[in-house]
C-alpha cells in the first residue's frame, strides 16, 4: 500500500506532497503527527484522507508534544518496533507557535523525527509572515509599500536552535532534490533521540509562480546559497551540498511575485544587497562554493 496517495487537495505544483512522499520513502511505515496547516488541510479532510500510515492531527502548536506522547506510549507498551514517529509541521507551526512544544520534545530527548515543511509563511491562511519568511518577502502582514520593502528581519535560524538543543541529527533539504530528502530521512532514523529535518517547500500561490516554475525556483534557492543544504550529526557538520557557479540572488528573486517589488521599490536595492550578503555568508560558513 502507498504511504501517501493521489487525490489530495494541494495546489498544482505544490512542494508539500513531494516533501512528504520523499520523507515516507525513507522512513517506511511510521506514525505521523501533523500540525494545522496546508498539509493537514489538503490531506486529512474527513473521508478524504490521503494517508496510508497512522496519522493524527490535533491542533496548530502541539504536534511535537503529540508525537512525544505517541513515542512514550509506544515505548511503554513495548511497541517501538512498529515504526518511527514522525512530525510534519509548517514553518509557522515550527518556528513560531509550536516552538515551545518543539523545544520540550528536544529537551526530553524523545525518539522523534521532526520535519519542518518550510514554505516561508503561513500559507494556508493566505501568506502571512512567519519567523522563517525571508527578508524582502511581500506578505499580507509585511506588505510592500511606502512604509516597508516587505519583511525586514532575517529567517530565524532553526538549524542553530535545533543544534543548541543537542538534537542528534539536524539537516536541511529541498523539494528540488527529492532523493536527497529520502536519504536524509533514512539517515536521521539511524539516530535514537530527537532529529530535525527542515525542507524548503515551494508554495506556488504564496510565492506567486506557476506550477511548472516550482522546481526550477526551488533549485535556484539552493544554487544561490540562499537555502544551504547542510547536515549535522551529533553537533558536527558532516555534509553540505556544494554549488558549482553560484548564481546571483536576483535570479531566484525575479520569477517570484512575492519579491517583484524589490526591483522597483526605493529600498529594493538595499534588500537585494542584504539577501546577497546572507547568501555569501552561507557560502562561506558552510564552504558551499566548489
Ligand X SMILES: Cc1ncc(C[n+]2csc(CCOP(=O)(O)OP(=O)(O)O)c2C)c(N)n1
Q: Which residues bind ligand SF4 (CB under 6 A)?
A: 10-11, 14, 16, 38, 42, 119, 123-124, 203-206
Q: Which is nearer to ligand SF4, 8 or 168 (CB)?
A: 8
Question: Which stretches of the chain are DSSP H helices?
Answer: 16-27, 38-43, 63-76, 91, 99-108, 158-164, 178-188, 204-207, 214-223, 250-253, 268-286
- Asked whether position 8 contacts another protein by CB under 8 A, the answer is yes
Q: Which of residues 167-226 bind another protein (CB under 8 A)?
A: 178-179, 210-212, 214-216
Please report the sign of the dihedral spanned by the C-alpha atoms of residue 46, residue 48, residue 54, residue 58.
negative
Stretch that binds another protein, among 5-13, 114-122, 127-135, 237-245 (CB under 8 A): 5-13
Q: Is 127 helix (H, G, I), strand (E, B) or coil?
A: coil
- Asked whether position 123 contacts ligand X by CB under 6 A, the answer is yes
Stretch that binds Mg ion, among 44-52, 113-121, 187-195, 282-290 (CB under 5 A): 113-121
What CA–CA distances, in Å, run from 103 to 154, 175, 180? 21, 25, 26
Q: Which residues bind ligand X (CB under 6 A)?
A: 36-39, 60, 90-93, 117, 119, 122-125, 130
Q: Which residues bind another protein (CB under 8 A)?
A: 1-2, 4-10, 12-18, 21-22, 43-44, 46-53, 55, 73, 77-79, 178-179, 210-212, 214-216
Amino acid at each position: 500500500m502507498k504511504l501517501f496517495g493521489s487525490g489530495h487537495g494541494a495546489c498544482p505544483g505544490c512542494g508539500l506532497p513531494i516533501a512528504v512522499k520523499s520523507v515516507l520513502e525513507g522512513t517506511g511505515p511510521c506514525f505521523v503527527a501533523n500540525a494545522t496547516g496546508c498539509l493537514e488541510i489538503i490531506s486529512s479532510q474527513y473521508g478524504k484522507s490521503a494517508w496510508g500510515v497512522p496519522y493524527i492531527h490535533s491542533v496548530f502548536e502541539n504536534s511535537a508534544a503529540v508525537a512525544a506522547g505517541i513515542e512514550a506510549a509506544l515505548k511503554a507498551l513495548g511497541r517501538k518496533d512498529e515504526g518511527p514517529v514522525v512530525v510534519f509541521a509548517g514553518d509557522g507551526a515550527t518556528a513560531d507557535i509550536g516552538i515551545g512544544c518543539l523545544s520540550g520534545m528536544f529537551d526530553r530527548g524523545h525518539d522523534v523525527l521532526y520535519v519542518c515543511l518550510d514554505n516561508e509563511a503561513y500559507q494556508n491562511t493566505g501568506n502571512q509572515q512567519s519567523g522563517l519568511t525571508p527578508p524582502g518577502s511581500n506578505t499580507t502582514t509585511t506588505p510592500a509599500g511606502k512604509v516597508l520593502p516587505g519583511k525586514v528581519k532575517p529567517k530565524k535560524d532553526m538549524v542553530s536552535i535545533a543544534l543548541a538543543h543537542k538534537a542528534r541529527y539536524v539537516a536541511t533539504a529541498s523539494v528540488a532534490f527529492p532523493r536527497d530528502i529520502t536519504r536524509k530521512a533514512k539517515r536521521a532514523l539511524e539516530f535514537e533521540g530527537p532529529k530535525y529535518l527542515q525542507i524548503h517547500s515551494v508554495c506556488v500561490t504564496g510565492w506567486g509562480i506557476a506550477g511548472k516554475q516550482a522546481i526550477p525556483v526551488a533549485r535556484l534557492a539552493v544554487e544561490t546559497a540562499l537555502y544551504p543544504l547542510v547536515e549535522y550529526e551529533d553537533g558536527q557538520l558532516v555534509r553540505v551540498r556544494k554549488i558549482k557557479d553560484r548564481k546571483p540572488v536576483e535570479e531566484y528573486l525575479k520569477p517570484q511575485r512575492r519579491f517583484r517589488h524589490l526591483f522597483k521599490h526605493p529600498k529594493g536595492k538595499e534588500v537585494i544587497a542584504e539577501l546577497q550578503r546572507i547568501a555569501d555568508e552561507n557560502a562561506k560558513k558552510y564552504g558551499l562554493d566548489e
